[in-house]
Chains A and B, each alone.
Chain A
Amino acid sequence: MEIKHRLAKNYTMRALRSARMGLAAMIVATPSIAAQISIQVTEPGGVAVAEAVVYASVISGTALAKPKREVSIEQVNKEFIPLISVMQTGTSVNFPNRDKVRHHVYSFSPAKTFEIKLYSGVPGKPIVFDKPGEVVLGCNIHDGMIAYVLVVDTPIFAKTDKRGAAVLDGLSAGEYEIHVWYPGMPASALPAPRKLKLSATDAPAITFAFNAKTQNPAGPKPSQGK
């Protein structure tokens, strides 16, 4: 509940940004003949699940390589923005501090353990997330601050929008396994990945349904201090 609430709250700002980015991507990427998958994530009752991560791992065929990018996870008003990030293995992440107070960003997650001791502004070196897996970020002096990063070995990923919809595009023909991921939920509580064979022009639509409410007991803490 909390996470959804927070997602909804920050949605507008982020939607604008991703729209901008999407637009840029569309301009950069050749709108050539390529397969795409439309994914709808809902709860069993049909309520859309926003901010769910979907990604496709390549079983056979070649993925359309997306350029590795540098991403930023900002700290604004003692919150990590974005709350949920998904990125390809090897992505460098910057942690610009937009607050007047310092932050102490850390992760004890096995996929990436690091710590940037109390700092302000933008730390000199970005952190390279070099292993796939879930990384939970926190601030040592603000227990309420949390961010989730899913590091995946594939460039094909997206997050669902407000309506629970996401599109994985730029796919070449081949066999894919489509995953859905939601922060704080063990794999067992998530829908099983789906295998799909795509031709170059296929555009299938698939739906994932799971109960994002019945989270793992160890799910994310509510944001505090806002």
Chain B
Amino acid sequence: MKYFQFGRLEKRIVVFFVGLLMLVQLAGFLAISYVIEENARRNLREELNVGAKVFKRLLDQKEQQLVSATIVLTRDFPFRDAVATRDGGTIVDVLKNHGDRISANRLALVDMTNIVAADTIQPDLIGKKFGFPDLIEQAAAKKNVSAIRIIDGTIYQLVIVPVMAPAPIAWVVIGFVIDDATASDLKGITGLDVSFLGTAGSQPPSVLATTLTADIRANLQAQSVGLLATAGKSASVVLGREEFEILATTIDRYPTGFGNGSVFAVLQRSVNEGLQPYEMLKLALLLLGVASLLITLIGSIRIARRITRPVRQLALAAREVAAGNYGEPIILEQDDEIGELATAFNNMSIGLTERDQVRDILGKVASPEIAEQLLKQKIELGGEERDVTVMFTDIRNFTALCENHPPAVAIGLLNRYLTLINTIVDAHAGVIDKYTGDGVMALFGAPIGRADDPERAVLAALAINLRMRQLASELLQEGLPNPDVGIGVNSSRVVAGNIGSPSRLNYTVLGDGVNLASRLESLTKRYGVPIIVGEATAAQASKLVYLELDKVRVVGRATPVRIYQPMGKPEQLDEVRRDLVARHHRALALFRARSWNAAEDIFRTLRPISGYTSIADVYLCYLADFTLTEPGENWDGVFTLSDK
């Protein structure tokens, strides 16, 4: 079924070739048919003319033979003897007897005064003038004569010779009937249908002997007047339903005797019969035409398929490629242009695959957004200032972990961590900037900035911490080490862009705030908390609950910064935590207001709470220091940190 479904191009190719062939063949067929028909008709006419000559020659020969036979007959001594008796009965008998010897149909004896002395058919003519005195005159002049005449509706070949004794004493008239059998004989030799027509008086000519069938004979009879008018020339005539080439010739016209009369011969050849061999030729041509049409049809379909099928295949493949599916290469066992196209297409596909792979890898090694950015924009060195929240994560003691485990396990573990972090960063619309060993640097707000970048960054940090704790319990069950994670988050104005050399560069962000984020990550160890966010971040992601850890001046930075531990969304906090945050902030306020003892009481009270111990220790440590040397009058509650 599919074989008969055509594409447009295919249909066009097939229709064109088949149509062209049909047109050419039709034209050829018509031309050949015309030539054949013309030729056939000319041949027919030629045959007819040759046949007519043969026919005349045959009539002459027959006449000669009959004359000779008749002369021999009349020279027979007993015949002459019998004729000389002038006894009617004897004469008729000898006429019949001798006539039979030469198969004559009718004999008559005419005396020298043109009176019929005997007639084998019509005895009533005896004593009357002989019907064709013109023939007797001719016989007298030529010693014998032969003519084709009509007597009583029958055509005879009449032969008239004198009875010599040895001077002529009478005329013997011998008649040979020309009937259908005679016509048939003539047809056998000439190959033409032969008809003898005769008129007597003013009667229309009638067909007296013929080889034609009754039907055609009747038609010939009906058209005889018109036909005989063109005697001597061949003509195309339709008799009944058949077409004939016809040649009518006048055999004799005579003014006297049994009424003035004429005898004609009509020779004809059936056009259909004549064209029969040519019809076979036409049929052969037709068959040849049909065969070549079929071959062309099949051939053109195949050729069209050879073009369109691979084209369709290529189109389909191209669509797949456009959709990003690089399947198997197209294999066409054609070493023509289509084959070349397929090869080119495959090469293109491979090229695209490679590029896509590059893009994919780029997406993996950079991050999809950065890769996108890189691909979209003209890659050039330099950058722009943006507000970006940067997050640094670090797995604590990963190096020590590596030492105690095989590299494969260590790498596997690392990848689990990194995958986890990556997933969460992605989920919060962050971008991984780079991996630094076991650490991750993620950006929120570059390359594309959004209003809630700080909040998402903090939520991501919380989520990482949560997932890390879950992972830690999983790892514990697996008997694997479960190191903690430290996360630093800070928001600031940074320079974002491609940094490196023209041949090798990175998209990244640079700035003081970035360094601070890294410092904050490091500070998590000091305060024993998983996450520390900077002042700017906490201010911008103000919907969350924070626990202010400290106010510090980090290394390399003159400006002090408040640092916070995010506690989560307000609704997610339980009573204990909320209470903790409130009491801590009260303690911190007392601390900063130099109410050392009150502050110490609270810190000591809160110290046993899980996750707070390290913070309490930091402040108890501060208080211990202050008991030794109280801070100056202008102490602003800032601690300067000396190490990273």
Contacts and interface: CB of A to CB of B under 8 A. Distances in A.
Given A108-B84, A113-B84, A218 B166 contact: no
B165 A138 contact: yes
Contacts, number: 52
B169 A108 contact: yes
Interface residues of B, number: 20
A193 interface: no
Contacts of B136: 217
A218 B140 contact: yes
Interface residues of A, number: 25
Contacts of A218: 112, 140, 162, 167-169
B372 interface: no
Interface string B135-150: 0110111000000000
A219 interface: yes
Contacts of A138: 164-167
A221 B168 CA distance: 9
B81 A108 contact: yes
A143 B161 CA distance: 15
Interface string A126-142: 00000000001111100
Contact of B166 (A146, A186, A216, A217): A146
B635 interface: no
Contacts of B167: 136, 138, 146, 148, 183-184, 218-221
Nearest to A218: B168
Contacts of B80: 108
B626 interface: no
Given A218-B112, A218-B140, A218-B162, A140 B168 contact: no
Interface string A181-217: 0011010000000000000000000000000000011
Contacts of B137: 217
Interface in A135-157: 136-140, 143-146, 148
Nearest to A219: B167
Contacts of A10: none
Contacts of B164: 138, 143, 221
Contacts of B168: 217-218
Contacts of A137: 166
Contacts of A145: 166
Interface of A: 106-110, 113, 136-140, 143-146, 148, 183-184, 186, 216-221
26 contacts: A106-B165, A107-B165, A108-B83, A108-B165, A108-B169, A109-B165, A136-B166, A138-B164, A138-B166, A138-B167, A139-B166, A140-B77, A144-B166, A146-B166, A146-B167, A148-B167, A184-B167, A216-B112, A217-B136, A217-B168, A218-B162, A218-B167, A218-B168, A218-B169, A219-B167, A221-B167
Interface of B: 75, 77, 80-81, 83-84, 86, 112, 136-137, 139-141, 162, 164-169
